[in-house]
Amino acid sequence: MAFTLEQLIVIVPIFLVSLTFHEFAHSFAALLLGDRTSQAMGRFSLNPLKHIDPLGFILFILFGFGWAKPVMVNRENLRHPLRDDVIISLSGPLANFILAITSAILLRILLKGGLLAGGTLEIIPNIFIYTIIVNISLAIFNLLPIPPLDGSHIITDIIEIWSPSLAYKFYKFGSRLILILIILERVTDIDFLPIGGMINSVTNIIFRTFLNI
């Protein structure tokens, strides 16, 4: 999905803010659970420059999906390594879901109050709508089980409870297979993984629930 110049002017700042909250949530959760590694690396910050991955940022502009620099976690500092690592991994997508729902609620309040009628204020609904779409996209994309995305940590930690060796094999080989399927989707237009469908479904649920559209 390529963006027009007009869309990029609105979407890029939204992407940077959303991505920053995502990574800050990881760092905050790690700090609460006993690991200060990310804080020592300067990632406990709301400064987007601390979190941007150049390649992930460029791919977002070109294709509509991207990522940030992963927050480093030392599981040896966690009280319950597997459980806490899952919580830390989930915190980023959860932050994006919260931002999306908060944006929908604020937009509903502004629309109900008649505060966005006419003039330059007409762009504000689009800002909120793009915020919802970008955050849902970030949340679902990051839940994919592909390193270094959050989903890979979650699935690997769950598998490791039963079999550390199987968890290693999945992280090394299974996640690569999923990445290959995603690339094939882009090349062949065959829907191997319903990522776009999931993003559309969740986004539509939020629109219907909070905005009646």
Q: Residue 163: which region, alpha, beta or left (left: phi > 0; alpha: psi -120 to 50)?
A: beta
* β-sheet bridge partners, residue 52: 68
Query: Hey, what are 161's tokens?
Result: 């409870």
Q: How far apart are CA 33 and CA 89, in angstroms?
A: 12
Secondary structure class of 119 (helix, strand, coil): helix
**Contact, 159 vs 168, CB < 8 A?**
no
What are the C-alpha distances in Å from 7 to residues 3, 18, 59, 78, 161?
A: 6, 16, 15, 42, 44
pLDDT at 20 over 90: yes
pLDDT band at 60 (very low <50, low <70, confident <90, very high): confident
pLDDT at 24 over 90: yes
Report the pLDDT value the prediction gives residue 190, as an integer from 0 to 100: 63
In the block, which residue shows the tokens 């909250």? 21
One-letter identity of residue 197: G
Secondary structure class of 70 (helix, strand, coil): coil
Tell me what the mean pLDDT of segment 57-79 comes to: 84
Over residues 147-175, the pLDDT tens digits come to 778 988 888 888 888 888 877 777 777 65
Q: What is the pTM of this model?
A: 0.86
Report the pLDDT value the prediction gives residue 187, as an integer from 0 to 100: 65
Q: Residue 45: which region, alpha, beta or left (left: phi > 0; alpha: psi -120 to 50)?
A: beta
Question: Exposed, middle or buried: residue 75 (CB in 10 Å: 0-12, 13-18, 19+)?
Answer: middle
